[in-house]
Structure 1
Amino acid sequence: MEQNIVWTGIDSLSIEKCVLIDKGETIHSKGDLVGNKNNQVYGVEYQVVVDQKWETRFFDITCKVGHKNYAIHGYKLNNQWIIDEQEHPELHDCLDIDISVTPFTNSLPINRLQLKVGESKELAVLYINPIEERFTRVVQRYERLSEKTYHYKNLWSDFESTIEVDSKGVVTHYPKLFNRL
């Protein structure tokens, strides 16, 4: 099964196309986006592979900002993140990634956690900002408010928002940041 998704970015004036392909044992996503933040044009391509539990197994991200290029590649091996061929034991408890420029990666914990309405969960996440060329471990909280609504809070920055998803748990509306077409 293949699903094509298009988001527009509000804050960063971006347009993104994402394709999700369910291959049985894994779900593959491929996204391409272009945007403008603070008068800086950028382009990002990403690939993410998750297993049937929606645990991230692999990612590959390339970003171009002006004349600068940034790439980051990671995969999970024996519960250990290997990023650009280096082990990162401080990230061992991160089952999800969050790529700052796309709402797609918010769909990863939403689908993995399978929260009931009224339930919430804090989780460690590998946060990747390709424009700033950095990644780090952060703690986030998701609370399911209704069948298609989640309250999201990034505990390291106090950023929070109420995210809407479709029946497959894929983000449709992320106030002030992203809208799905």
Structure 2
Amino acid sequence: MKTLIWQGIYYQSLEYFNLQSDHHNYTVESKIIGCLEDKIYSIEYKINTDKDWIVQDFLIESEINTIKRTISGKRNQNQWEINGVVNSKFNNFKFIDISLTPFTNTLPINHLKIPENNSQKIDVLYIDILKHQTRPVQQQYTRTAVNKYLYENIENDFKAEISVDESGLVSSYPELFEKIAEN
């Protein structure tokens, strides 16, 4: 359905991204390579969502300075099983946010369908690949124009105005990501 490349500005990365859909779900497969400070990394991730962009399962395989790790998650009704263990602190979470990609912003943007000049807070399962952390965070999205959203991370006051294309995929995320190719 859609293939694109994002350049990670801060993360000094390139992401080769594929989005496919059928009548029941969306499937994303992506590969990221990059370096940040003393970390050279390669990431492959796969995310399956339903037609409402709610994450059903994910698999992230990373290699950072030759150390390989895998994190997997599966939604069972309103509970998350992370690497085979149910974790109640993620109960009722619909979305994940992976630190090295702008794609995971598409999930709430496309699901919430926020009217212009309105906002909504959400809880997400945040996966910081480079720090090997998975934790709950609260985010807020405010639709400021047809294709623009103010993204806010509530816990650390980080804010950015994200531009998206007609599919809800990030085209510009100032100082972090830029879409540089699309097919």
Same fold by TM-score greater than 0.5: yes
The list of structure 1 runs, each at least 4 consecutive aligned residues, that deviate by more than 3 angstroms after superposition, is none
After superposition, where does 1:68-79 map in structure 2 within 5 Å? 68-79=67-78
After superposition, where does 1:28-177 map in structure 2 within 5 Å? 28-177=27-176
C-alpha displacement of 1:149: 0.2
Say what the alpha-carbon RMSD is for the aligned residues.
0.7
Partners of 1:87 and 1:103 lie apart in 2 by 27
C-alpha displacement of 1:165: 0.1
Any conservation in 2 of the 1:63–1:131 contact (CA below 8 Å)? no
Partners of 1:132 and 1:62 lie apart in 2 by 14
**Structure 2 gap ranges (5+):** none
Partners of 1:128 and 1:35 lie apart in 2 by 17
C-alpha displacement of 1:67: 2.2
Partners of 2:87 and 2:22 lie apart in 1 by 28
Partners of 2:139 and 2:87 lie apart in 1 by 19
The alignment partner of 2:11 has SS state of coil
Letter in 2 for 1:145: T
Partners of 1:44 and 1:142 lie apart in 2 by 26
Any conservation in 1 of the 2:78–2:93 contact (CA below 8 Å)? no
- 1:14-59 Cα shifts (integer Å, max 9, x gaps): 0001100012100000010101101321111000011011101010
Paired residues, number:
180
Question: Between the two proteins, what is the percent identity of the paired residues?
Answer: 32
TM-score (norm 1): 0.98
**Structure 1 gap ranges (5+):** none
Partners of 1:15 and 1:67 lie apart in 2 by 18
